[in-house]
């Protein structure tokens, strides 16, 4: 019989720590949901018409399902909508709401198939995710200025949502922040889209996820967490492979500024193509670290301060 690659005592310790971490995360999610429901119920105007109440309830449930807002700022001048990476949740980016200035309210998008949406099927393609985000957030995006931040898979999704909003509703972010991703019009995306994830062995995918980081090692030693992470990453990657964008030769989709971030130790990205997608300014920042450089506290401080400054200088 093949011996485990770590002692049994270590395995039990990891499982206990992982369960505790998961329970704490679930408890925080439940408590946040209860607070939001309580706030909503007290602020709901008296409605006598059944269809109006049903519509209000549907809108609230859509927001409750899709959006995490840890720090509500009703008087904020702008909203920052954050899009996590493949296989990721809302725990990190949602916390940016406590780091940014009072003039900015942070929404983090919760993808299907995880957290409080664990029992929902994963998205079937990029178009369905774009349509869901747009339909749920449209009222809020029409209400006040907004900016987007997306990392890796989230960068492509944020771009696709921004493009859909511009083409269909004439709405545009005041600033687009993208991180750890090729420009969507780059040929460097094509080889990634041709990878057959369904044929890849779990061990190979898991080794890749360990290499790039982004998940606490204590959780990776829990078999249930590991299986769920592998499934979620594969499903998100499959959605990414349905993303397509072909820039018309003379068409410039956006007029907002675009800022690109990446880790200096990460693989190189083709970023220059972002300049072709806006008539606004495009800037590039390389920070110390690998693909998940943004998890480093010093980098997180830089990102949140820089994003705050860019949004507040956008002439809102």
At 176-207, the pLDDT tens digits run 999 999 999 999 999 999 898 888 888 889 88
| Collapsed DSSP state (helix, strand, coil) of residue 274 | helix
Calculate what percentage of the chain has a pLDDT beyond 70.
80
As a whole-number percent, the residues of the chain with pLDDT over 90 amount to 66
pLDDT digits 0-9 by tens, 94-145: 999 999 999 999 999 999 999 999 999 999 999 999 999 999 999 999 999 9
The residue segments making up the domain with residue 135 are 68-314
Residues 15 and 221 sit within 8 Å (Cβ to Cβ)? yes
Lowest average pLDDT, out of 50-54, 115-119, 219-223, goes to: 50-54
pLDDT for 250 beyond 70? no
Cβ atoms within 10 Å of 36's Cβ, excluding its own = 17
Exactly one of 14, 151, 175, 291 is catalytic; name it. 291
291 is catalytic: yes
Catalytic residue list contains 152: yes
Q: How many domains does the chain have?
A: 1
pTM across the whole model: 0.81
Cβ atoms 160, 126 nearer than 8 A: yes
**Looking at 14, 151, 152, 179, which residue is catalytic?**
152
CATH of the domain at 240: 3.40.50.1820
* Residue 222 domain-assigned (yes or no): yes
Residue 223 covered by a domain: yes
- Asked whether residue 20 is domain-assigned, the answer is no
Asked if residue 147 belongs to a domain, the reply is: yes
Rounded to the nearest 10 degrees, how much is the dihedral formed by the CA atoms of 23, 68, 305, 293?
50
Question: Is residue 271 domain-resident?
Answer: yes
In-domain check, residue 91: yes
Proportion of the chain in helix, strand, coil states, percent, rounded to 5: 50, 15, 35
pLDDT for the residue numbered 218: 74
Per the domain annotation, does 107 fall within a domain? Answer: yes
């Amino acid at each position: 019989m093949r011996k485990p690659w770590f002692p049994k005592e270590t395995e039990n310790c990891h499982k206990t720590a992982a369960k505790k971490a998961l329970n704490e995360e679930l408890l925080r999610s439940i408590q946040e949901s209860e607070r939001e429901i309580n706030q909503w119920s007290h602020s709901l105007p008296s409605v006598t018409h059944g269809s109006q109440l049903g519509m209000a309830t549907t809108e609230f449930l859509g927001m409750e399902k899709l959006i995490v807002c840890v720090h509500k700022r009703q008087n904020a001048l702008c909203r920052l909508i954050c899009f996590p990476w493949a296989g990721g949740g809302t725990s990190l980016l949602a916390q940016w709401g406590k780091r940014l200035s009072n003039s900015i309210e942070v929404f983090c998008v919760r993808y299907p198939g995880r957290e409080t949406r664990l029992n929902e099927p994963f998205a079937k393609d990029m178009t369905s995710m774009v349509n869901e985000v747009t339909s749920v957030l449209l009222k809020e995006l029409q209400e006040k200025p907004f900016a987007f931040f997306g990392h890796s898979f989230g960068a492509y999704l944020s771009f696709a949502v921004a493009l859909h909003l511009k083409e269909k509703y004439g709405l545009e972010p005041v600033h687009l922040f993208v991180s750890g991703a090729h420009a969507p019009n780059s040929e460097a995306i094509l080889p990634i889209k041709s990878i057959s994830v369904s044929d890849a062995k779990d061990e190979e995918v898991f080794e890749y996820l360990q290499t790039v980081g982004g998940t606490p090692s204590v959780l990776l030693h829990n078999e249930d967490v590991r299986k769920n992470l592998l499934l979620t990453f594969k499903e998100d990657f499959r959605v990414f492979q349905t993303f397509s964008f072909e820039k018309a030769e003379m068409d410039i989709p956006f007029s907002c500024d675009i800022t690109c971030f990446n880790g200096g130790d990460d693989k190189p990205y083709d970023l220059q193509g972002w300049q072709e997608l806006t008539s606004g300014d495009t800037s590039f920042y390389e920070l110390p670290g690998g693909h998940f450089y943004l998890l480093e506290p010093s980098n997180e401080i830089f990102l949140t301060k820089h994003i705050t400054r860019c949004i507040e200088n956008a002439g809102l």
